[in-house]
Structure 1
Amino acid sequence: MKSINRRTEKPSAEAKALSLYLMAFKSTDSACKEQSKRMKRLWDIVLENDARMKDYVKEVQKLLAVHGGYEKVVEKTVKHFVEKTGEWKLKGDDKFCVDAQRVADDLKKK
Structure 2
Amino acid sequence: MRTFWLTAMAAVFLVAGTVAFIPLEAGAEGFNRDVTLTEEQQKEMGALHREAFNKQKDIVNKYVEFNVLTKEKGEQIIAHFERAYKELEQNGFIPNWERPHHSEKQDN
Asked whether the two chains share a fold, i.e. TM above 0.5, the reply is no
Work out which structure has the larger RCO, using CA pairs closer than 8 Å and 6 or more positions apart in sequence.
2
What is the TM-score with the length of structure 2 in the denominator?
0.30
Highest Rg: 1 or 2?
Answer: 2
Identify the structure with the greater helix proportion.
1
